[in-house]
Structures are given as structure tokens and as C-alpha cells.
Amino acid sequence: MAAASVTPPGSLELLQPGFSKTLLGTKLEAKYLCSACRNVLRRPVQAQCGHRYCSFCLASILSSGPQNCAACVHEGIYEEGISILESSSAFPDNAARREVESLPAVCPSDGCTWKGTLKEYESCHEGRCPLMLTECPSCKGLVRLGDKERHLEHECPERSLSCRHCRAPCCGADVKAHHEVCPKFPLTCDGCGKKKIPREKFQDHIKTCGKCRVPCRFHALGCLETVESEKQQEHEAQWLREHLAMLLNSVLEAKPLSGDQSQAGSELLQRCETLEKKTATFENIVCVLNREVERVALTVEACSRQHRLDLDRIEALSNKVQQLERSIGLKDLAMADLEQKVLEMEASTYDGVFIWKISDFARKRQEAVAGRTPAIFSPAFYTSRYGYKMCLRIYLNGDGTGRGTHLSLFFVVMKGPNDALLRWPFNQKVRPSPRASPRAGQLLQLRLVQGGLAGAAGPGVRSRQATLWCRVTWWRVLVVSIFSTVSEHWSVTQATGFLMCQMNITKKKHKAGRGGSPCDLSTLGG
């Protein structure tokens, strides 16, 4: 049977585990129980090991990846590779689903008489039974589904209400407490019988209402009578003797206390004098401390000023150091440039003959074979003091079609300082030759293959009338006939090779141009 997804078609089914065992009206068989939740199977899915699970339960188990079947482990029938729960190997068990849905069911709610099959319960009665207990979202209490709406509107203590007197929001449980302090709550005057007096205006009403009963003004002296406001003067006139007796008794009771009060007063005076002395001492100490604090503050301020000055000086010195470092760097660059020029001048020749010393020939040839340094350039040399500027470029492993079989040597005409005075295109004869160690006792003979003449940009000097061009001549030195000799004398013996390049300058006489004196540029080139 092909594997299928364990996710049930409806999202509601995915959020529900198995059916409760109390739903079944007959004896429950073990084959109808989920191997995980142990309830009646809902949308049963069979794993490859044969155990059945609810779709919701299996999805929960596989949320963290494939797992071992707990039922196989519990029953002692675990098989490696078989007792594994995977979504790809589980499939819906439609046969078990039909059997479960055909089982007789009864509603578990108290007082409900509904009966039918498990399929009918799931589709028609589950979640719709009016006698089912549900949780109130406000007070979290349990109420029947049929009474839930009435509970939320009239009975829930956490329902949202507003005071009918002041319109202040409050919940149902706090309504009575709010009425005790509500400023708009209506009160009734006990004296005049007036009703619906707002609490915020009730005190003003009592002051003006003559029927309100208030305590006697001699209440503090012992009169316990309460009279109406308009009859208070009549009460005081009738009870004048009693009020005077109360006042006399109060005065007589206060006299014996005067001695004790005088003694207590003297003790207080002594304590005050002691405190004044201590205060004077503390004031002196505080004055000394204030002066010390002022001195420390001045010292701190002076240190702060010195610190700021030091920071400014450090910043200035840092800037100066940076300037000096830049100056030293520029001077180092200039010195390196001068050293390079000196080295070039020492290596340069001005007679058209240049002997190029190639040291570490074996190592450099290995680098050329490896492709790290395929070409080497020689220092510049000249045909004369004001002549052509040239150099040599050698490929120790060959270049182009000669790569790997030849030494390729190129003659390069460089841009020189006197190109405007020289004749172009460059058309001079150049003869290169390798030289071995004097111990070899011979001049190595090279078989040269001269390439064609190619037009290339000349020294890079362009005049208003024409563009100067030069002729580039190149050679390939055949390795086949000289490699063993070169290896013997350049790599093994001295690890140094010499190449000599000699240029033959042919001087020709030219007629002077019209309107000018004769000028032989070949003398500049030679």
C-alpha cells in the first residue's frame, strides 16, 4: 500500500485527539484504542509496525522528527528499522476508521439523552450539546453551553458594566462597592425625608436642612444628645446648667495635670539646652568640613584644568607624531625610489651591449614551470647616453607555442626620456647570446628562431605631425639543443646564468631638411 500523509484533511480534526471512552455505549475493544493517548481512535493512521494512532497524536509525536514506536517497546516486539514512526511510511487506516465510526455512542453530558453512532456524534452533536459544560471566557467558571449567553449577559461576575448613575465602567462583582463611593448615587435625608440627593451634594444639604439631627456642640465634654439643627439653640438653653457642670468638671480635672506638665516642660527645656550645645559643636565641625570641602574642590578643579591641558598637549604630540610618521613614510618611499634608480643606473649600460646576470636560475625556472613567475625582466640599458631605452624579457619555461620546450627571450624597446630626438621606427640589429661559466671554456651556441616583425606602439611619444612606431623583434631559444648544457653550467655549477645582448647601430647620413641645419639623429641613437 502506498504511503500517504498523516495530516488529516481538516484543520479541526488535527486539533483534536481521540474520542473519550465514555462515549461508547458498548464494551470497548483494545483494537479501537490509540497507541499514544489510549482513547478511541479519531482519524486512525497505521504505522509500518502495525500500531494505530490518531492523526493528531502521530503528528504531535513526529513534530520533532522520526521516533521509535513506544507501543512496540512496551510490548517487547521492537524491530530495528520497522518499529520507527515516520510520516512517509504511515498511511490512513480507512478500514479501522469505518469500524470506529459505526460504533454506538451516547452523549457524556449529564441529563442529555442523545444516542447514535460515533460518526453521527462527531458530525452533529459534538460541541453542540446544550448540556455540555464549557468554560466562561471571563470568569473561567463552568457553565452549560445552552446557558452561556445568559450567563455572559446577566450572571458573570466579570462581565463589563457601567454605573447607571455616573456611567463609570466597572465589572459585575464591583458594582456594590462602587455604589458606596459613587458621587452620583442617590441618598435620602433622614430629617426632611427628601430623596434622590446625589452623594456629592448631600453634605451641603445637611448644612442647610433644619430637620437633620446633629450631635450637641458639648459632645466632647460628655453631652450625648442629638438634636435637629433648627432646635440646637433651644437644646443648649434647656441644658445650660448641665453643660456648665460638664465644663467645670473638665477644668478641675485639668488643674492637677498642670504640675506634671510644668515638670515635663522643665525637662524639655533641659533637653533643648543640651541639644543646642550639641548643635553648636556640630556647627563648628560642619564649618571645618565645609572649608575642607572647598579646599578639595579647588584642588580637584586645578587637577581638572591640568588634566585638560595634558590632554591637549597629548593630542598635539599625537598629531605631530602622525605628521612625522607620514614624513618618514614619504622619505622612505623617496629613498626606495632613489635606491631603485641607483641600482638601475649601476646595472644600465650606454654602449648598446648588455650582459644580464640571472641568479638562482634553477629556482626561477621551477617557479616559471609552476606558473608563479612566468616572466623575468632585465634592468634597462641604452644604446648611448641619449639613445634608445631597452630591456630584455625572458620566459624560462617558454611562451606561446614554445611553452615547455623553449626559453623565450623578448627584446623590448621602452619609453625613454629622449625619444623625441631619435629616429622611428626602431630598425636596428640586435644579437643575443648566452654565456656560461668561464670554467666551461666555451660559449653556449643557441639555435634561434627569429619571429616576424610586428608593428607596435613605439615609445609613446606623439607629435602633431605623425605617430612614432618601432619594430619589435623577438626570439625563441630552443631548449632541445641547449637544455642539458644550460642545466649543467647555469643550474648545477653556479646557479647563475648570463645573457649578452649586443646591438649594432648603423649610422646613415641624412640631408638637412629645408629651412634647417643638418642633424644626424643616428648619433643620438648610437
Q: Which residue has the higher pLDDT, 494 or 346?
A: 346
Q: What is the pLDDT of residues 255-278, one digit of tens each?
A: 665 556 667 778 888 888 888 888
358 or 309: which leads in pLDDT: 309
Return the ∠ at Cα 307 (arms to 305 and 311), rounded to 5°.
120
User: b/e for 79-95, b at 16 or more Cβ within 10 A?
Assistant: eeeebbbebebbbbbee
Instruction: Return the number of other C-beta atoms located less than 10 Å from residue 50's C-beta.
Output: 13
pLDDT, average across residues 385-402: 88
10 Å CB burial of residue 144 (0-12, 13-18, 19+) is middle
What pLDDT digit, counting tens, does each position of 63-98 carry? 888 988 989 998 888 888 888 898 888 999 998 899
How far apart are alpha carbons 319 and 519 in whole angstroms? 58
**Under 8 Å between Cβ of 493 and 439:** yes
Taking 80 as the threshold, does the pLDDT of residue 14 lie above it? Answer: no
Per-residue pLDDT for 294 more than 90?
A: yes
Which range among 11-20, 131-140, 199-208, 373-382 has the greatest average pLDDT?
Answer: 373-382
pLDDT of residue 75: 87
458 Cβ contact list (under 8 Å, min separation 6): 413, 419, 424, 425, 426, 467, 468, 469, 470
Are the C-beta atoms of residues 146 and 130 closer than 8 Å to each other?
A: yes
Among candidates 342, 479, 465, 327, which has minimal Cα distance to 403?
Answer: 479
Please provide the average confidence, as pLDDT, over all residues in the chain.
76
Residue 501 banded pLDDT, cuts 50, 70, 90: low
Longest pairwise C-alpha distance within the chain: 163
| pLDDT given at position 9 | 38
| Residues paired with 306 in a beta bridge | none
pLDDT of residue 298: 94
CB atoms within 10 A of CB 408: 25
For residue 6 the three cell numbers come to 498523516
> CATH second-level architecture of 11-125?
2-Layer Sandwich (3.30)
The tens digit of pLDDT for each residue in 150-178 reads 777 777 777 777 777 787 777 766 677 77
Task: State phi, psi for 83 to the nearest 5 degrees.
Answer: -85, 50
For 91-104, write each residue's pLDDT tens digit. 999 988 998 888 88
Total Cβ atoms within 10 A of residue 393? 15
496 vs 339, more confident: 339
- Taking the alpha carbons at both ends of the chain, their separation in whole angstroms is 98
Q: Is the pLDDT of residue 388 over 80?
A: yes
Residue reference for cell 456594590: 176
Q: pLDDT by residue (tens digit) across 429-463?
A: 887 766 654 444 333 333 333 333 333 333 333 32
Q: Which residues pair with 311 in a beta bridge?
A: none
Residue the block writes with cell 490512513: 92
Burial of 97 (0-12, 13-18, 19+ CB in 10 A): middle
Which whole number is the average pLDDT over 476-484?
35
What's residue 255's pLDDT?
64
Question: For residue 468, what pLDDT band results from cuts at 50, 70 and 90?
Answer: very low
Structural contact between residues 484 and 492, judged by C-beta atoms closer than 8 angstroms: no
Q: Report the pLDDT averaged over residues 418-422.
A: 91
The pTM of this model reads 0.34
Helices 256-347 and 240-254: angle between axes, nearest 10 degrees: 70
CA separation for the pair 211, 278 (Å, rounded): 61
Write down the domain spans for the chain. Answer: 11-125, 213-254, 266-345, 348-510+517-525
Q: What are the two backbone dihedrals, phi and then psi, of residue 200, each rounded to the nearest 5 degrees?
A: -70, -15
pLDDT category of residue 485 using cuts at 50, 70 and 90: very low
Torsion angle, alpha carbons of 44, 47, 48, 49, to 10: -110
pLDDT for res 15:
66
Q: Which residue has the higher pLDDT, 13 or 28?
A: 28
CATH class of 348-510+517-525: mainly beta
Query: What's the rounded Cα separation, in Å, for the pair 35 and 48?
Result: 14
The percent of the chain in helix, strand and coil, each rounded to the nearest 5, is 45, 20, 35
Q: How many Å apart are CA 473 and CA 452, to the nearest integer?
A: 7
Residue 112's Cβ-side half-sphere holds a number of Cα atoms within 13 Å equal to: 22
- Amino acid identity, residue 209? C
**Average pLDDT value for residue range 387-404:** 88
The mean pLDDT value for 381-397 works out to: 90
Give me the pLDDT at residue 123, please. 85
